[in-house]
Amino acid sequence: MTHGTKKKIMVVEDNPMNKILTKEILTVQGYEIIEASSGSDAIKRIAGDKPDLILMDLNLPEMDGITATKILKSNDVCKGIPIIALTASAMKGDEEKILAEGFDGYISKPIDMKQFVKDIASYIKKKAEGQP
Protein backbone atom coordinates (compact mmCIF):
# COMPACT_ATOMS: atom_id res chain seq x y z
CA MET A 1 0.00 0.00 0.00
CA THR A 2 1.56 3.23 -1.03
CA HIS A 3 -0.88 6.06 -0.37
CA GLY A 4 -2.90 7.54 2.48
CA THR A 5 -3.15 6.27 6.01
CA LYS A 6 -2.85 2.62 6.88
CA LYS A 7 -6.07 0.68 6.45
CA LYS A 8 -7.21 -1.14 9.59
CA ILE A 9 -8.27 -4.76 9.55
CA MET A 10 -9.86 -6.43 12.56
CA VAL A 11 -8.91 -10.11 12.74
CA VAL A 12 -11.45 -12.04 14.84
CA GLU A 13 -9.74 -15.38 15.47
CA ASP A 14 -9.26 -17.53 18.56
CA ASN A 15 -6.59 -19.89 17.21
CA PRO A 16 -3.18 -18.36 18.09
CA MET A 17 -1.36 -19.85 15.08
CA ASN A 18 -4.01 -18.69 12.60
CA LYS A 19 -4.01 -15.25 14.22
CA ILE A 20 -0.21 -14.93 14.01
CA LEU A 21 -0.11 -16.06 10.37
CA THR A 22 -2.91 -13.73 9.30
CA LYS A 23 -1.42 -10.80 11.22
CA GLU A 24 2.05 -11.33 9.74
CA ILE A 25 0.79 -11.57 6.15
CA LEU A 26 -1.35 -8.44 6.49
CA THR A 27 1.25 -6.42 8.41
CA VAL A 28 3.81 -7.05 5.66
CA GLN A 29 1.22 -5.70 3.19
CA GLY A 30 1.02 -2.44 5.17
CA TYR A 31 -2.23 -2.95 7.05
CA GLU A 32 -2.78 -2.06 10.70
CA ILE A 33 -4.13 -5.08 12.56
CA ILE A 34 -6.65 -5.04 15.38
CA GLU A 35 -7.04 -8.38 17.14
CA ALA A 36 -10.19 -9.78 18.72
CA SER A 37 -10.40 -13.31 20.09
CA SER A 38 -14.19 -13.75 20.05
CA GLY A 39 -17.32 -12.35 18.46
CA SER A 40 -18.28 -10.55 21.65
CA ASP A 41 -14.77 -9.04 21.89
CA ALA A 42 -15.14 -7.73 18.32
CA ILE A 43 -18.52 -6.17 19.13
CA LYS A 44 -17.09 -4.43 22.22
CA ARG A 45 -14.13 -3.02 20.30
CA ILE A 46 -15.76 -2.04 17.01
CA ALA A 47 -16.87 1.52 17.81
CA GLY A 48 -13.49 2.55 19.20
CA ASP A 49 -11.36 0.81 16.57
CA LYS A 50 -13.45 1.46 13.41
CA PRO A 51 -11.70 -0.99 11.07
CA ASP A 52 -11.93 -0.79 7.29
CA LEU A 53 -12.48 -4.55 7.07
CA ILE A 54 -13.25 -7.41 9.46
CA LEU A 55 -11.97 -10.97 8.98
CA MET A 56 -14.28 -13.18 11.03
CA ASP A 57 -13.66 -16.80 11.95
CA LEU A 58 -16.92 -18.73 12.32
CA ASN A 59 -16.06 -21.06 15.21
CA LEU A 60 -15.32 -18.75 18.12
CA PRO A 61 -15.71 -19.00 21.90
CA GLU A 62 -18.53 -17.12 23.67
CA MET A 63 -20.28 -16.11 20.42
CA ASP A 64 -19.85 -17.62 16.96
CA GLY A 65 -18.89 -15.53 13.94
CA ILE A 66 -22.32 -15.72 12.31
CA THR A 67 -24.09 -14.32 15.39
CA ALA A 68 -21.42 -11.62 15.80
CA THR A 69 -21.73 -10.65 12.13
CA LYS A 70 -25.52 -10.29 12.38
CA ILE A 71 -25.14 -8.05 15.45
CA LEU A 72 -22.42 -5.95 13.78
CA LYS A 73 -24.44 -5.58 10.56
CA SER A 74 -27.43 -4.31 12.55
CA ASN A 75 -25.31 -1.62 14.24
CA ASP A 76 -25.34 1.78 12.47
CA VAL A 77 -21.74 2.47 13.58
CA CYS A 78 -20.34 -0.46 11.60
CA LYS A 79 -23.03 -1.31 9.05
CA GLY A 80 -20.78 -0.28 6.14
CA ILE A 81 -17.72 -2.28 7.23
CA PRO A 82 -17.23 -5.37 5.06
CA ILE A 83 -17.12 -8.59 7.09
CA ILE A 84 -15.33 -11.48 5.43
CA ALA A 85 -15.72 -15.04 6.71
CA LEU A 86 -12.30 -16.61 7.21
CA THR A 87 -13.10 -20.23 7.86
CA ALA A 88 -12.11 -23.86 7.53
CA SER A 89 -15.70 -24.61 6.41
CA ALA A 90 -14.83 -25.32 2.81
CA MET A 91 -17.27 -28.02 1.82
CA LYS A 92 -19.36 -27.73 -1.33
CA GLY A 93 -22.18 -25.27 -0.66
CA ASP A 94 -20.57 -23.73 2.45
CA GLU A 95 -19.64 -20.48 0.72
CA GLU A 96 -23.23 -19.88 -0.43
CA LYS A 97 -24.61 -20.67 3.06
CA ILE A 98 -22.09 -18.36 4.72
CA LEU A 99 -22.74 -15.48 2.31
CA ALA A 100 -26.48 -15.95 2.90
CA GLU A 101 -25.83 -15.29 6.62
CA GLY A 102 -24.81 -11.70 5.83
CA PHE A 103 -21.08 -11.91 5.18
CA ASP A 104 -19.64 -9.72 2.43
CA GLY A 105 -17.12 -12.33 1.33
CA TYR A 106 -15.62 -15.73 2.04
CA ILE A 107 -12.03 -16.95 2.31
CA SER A 108 -11.35 -20.59 3.16
CA LYS A 109 -8.55 -21.91 5.35
CA PRO A 110 -5.88 -22.96 4.90
CA ILE A 111 -5.29 -19.73 3.05
CA ASP A 112 -3.45 -19.40 -0.23
CA MET A 113 -1.15 -16.47 0.62
CA LYS A 114 -1.04 -14.87 -2.85
CA GLN A 115 -4.81 -15.16 -3.33
CA PHE A 116 -5.45 -14.00 0.25
CA VAL A 117 -3.45 -10.80 -0.30
CA LYS A 118 -5.31 -10.14 -3.59
CA ASP A 119 -8.70 -10.80 -1.98
CA ILE A 120 -8.02 -8.45 0.95
CA ALA A 121 -6.83 -5.67 -1.37
CA SER A 122 -9.97 -6.14 -3.48
CA TYR A 123 -12.31 -5.92 -0.46
CA ILE A 124 -10.51 -2.80 0.83
CA LYS A 125 -10.70 -1.18 -2.62
CA LYS A 126 -14.43 -1.95 -2.96
CA LYS A 127 -15.10 -0.38 0.44
CA ALA A 128 -13.08 2.73 -0.48
CA GLU A 129 -15.12 3.05 -3.69
CA GLY A 130 -18.38 2.56 -1.79
CA GLN A 131 -19.23 -0.73 -3.51
CA PRO A 132 -21.12 -3.47 -1.70
**pLDDT digit string (tens) for 22-61?**
999 999 999 999 999 999 999 999 888 889 999 999 999 9
Categorise residue 14: left if φ over 0, alpha if ψ from -120 to 50, beta otherwise: alpha
Predicted TM-score (pTM) of the model is 0.91
**pLDDT tens, 68-122?**
999 999 988 888 899 999 988 767 778 899 999 999 999 988 889 999 999 999 9
Q: How far apart are CA 18 and CA 14, in angstroms?
A: 8
CB of 68 within 8 A of CB of 42?
A: yes
CATH number for the region 8-123 comes to: 3.40.50.2300
Q: Where are the domains of the chain?
A: 8-123
- What gap in Å lies between CA 77 and CA 49, rounded to an integer? 11
